[in-house]
Amino acid sequence: MHSQIDCSKSIFNPASLIGKEIGGYTIIQMLGRGAMGAVFIAFQHSLKRKIAVKIYPKQGPVPDSGIRFRDEAETVAILNHPSIVPVFDMGDTGDLLYISMQLVEGEDLDSIIQRYNRHPVSSKKFIPVDECIRIFENILDALSFAHEEGVIHQDIKPANILIEERGQRPYLADFGIARTEYTEQSQEGVVFGTPIYMSPEQMLNKKVDNRSDIYSAGMSFYETVAGKLPLRVKTIEKILMAKINDHDSLFTCLPSQWRPHIDKELERIVCKAVRADPEKRYQSAAAFRDDLHFYYERRCKKV
């Protein structure tokens, strides 16, 4: 007999789920938690394999969390791409909502960046440029596919990019706040996302399109290749104000001035991706991806 789930409608305690069974999956270990729920490693009894399970309390702290949860599962279910984490199933236990998906055994890109930052040798504090390009060519290809399917991710950041340990395949994860043409709920008046990576128009809660994701991917690529973002302002409030009122004041210097291994050609690509004006950014993830690819090819010819 399996133990019962004790889930308070007011307090969600993910640690209490360890060892419990939910929808045919035994919860083994928590991988991380966010504002609406938590992600766990679980064992799927029917196929005898480890998977990942995202669990939300049905009475969540975010308005319409149940609708948002369902939308995430249905959104990812239509995205069949080798660099998008596939969803297996979704369910409802009465108190809890869950999505089961492929377990990507490895690290998120944010953790990898921080690990490089801690290296004692200054020349080894950065992910090699060629590796950064390989990662983002895959992620931008996945993003281009999502956009073609009418899906805008809205929360692209290094923490939502997973790198598989065995094959080093990058995966775009966490479509929890994605918008699609199929989404029923309205998000009017509510801004979701991570301020450092959000586009100015997303922060203003204006109507966003694929170019908002391009900005977020550009900020993520910049941080990946540079190790850190050279932000002039540090607090969330000042980042918000800089992005909305004076985007040029956001950074202390140009990318090539911040990190010598970023040459002028790569700087052009980075700066175009993070332009405050959507009309001046790349107009598609495919164009951003192709520019990185052509830069890599020219770089190889110079070696």
Residue-wise pLDDT for 84-141, tens only, equals: 988 888 888 888 889 899 999 999 999 999 999 999 998 899 999 999 999 999 999 9
Strands (E) located in the chain = 21-22, 25-33, 38-44, 49-57, 87-92, 96-101, 106-108, 151-152, 161-164, 170-172, 179-180
pLDDT band at 14 (very low <50, low <70, confident <90, very high): confident
**Mean pLDDT along residues 236-243:** 84
Residue-wise pLDDT for 196-237, tens only, equals: 999 999 888 888 899 999 999 999 999 999 999 999 887 888
**Mean pLDDT along residues 42-49:** 94
Does 156 score more than 70 pLDDT? Answer: yes
Sheet holding 170-172: strands in order across?
Answer: 106-108, 161-164, 170-172
How far apart are the C-alpha atoms of 260 and 295, rounded to whole Å?
A: 17
Domains by residue range for the chain, with CATH:
14-101 (3.30.200.20), 106-302 (1.10.510.10)
Q: Active-site positions? A: 155
| Long-range contacts formed by 60-65: CB under 8 A, 24+ apart | 60/12, 60/36, 61/35, 61/36, 62/35, 62/36, 63/190, 64/185, 65/36
Does 175 score more than 50 pLDDT? Answer: yes
Q: Would you state the pLDDT for residue 66?
A: 66
Mean pLDDT, rounded, of the chain: 86
Report CA torsion sign: 61, 64, 68, 74.
Answer: positive
Q: Would you state the pLDDT for residue 58?
A: 78
Minimum mean pLDDT range among 18-32, 37-51, 55-69, 155-169: 55-69
Q: Would you state the pLDDT for residue 267?
A: 97
Length of the chain (residues): 303
pLDDT band at 3 (very low <50, low <70, confident <90, very high): very low
What does pTM read for this prediction?
A: 0.86
The CA-atom distances, in angstroms, between 8 and each of 16, 32, 54, 110 are 11, 20, 17, 32
**Mean pLDDT along residues 267-279:** 95
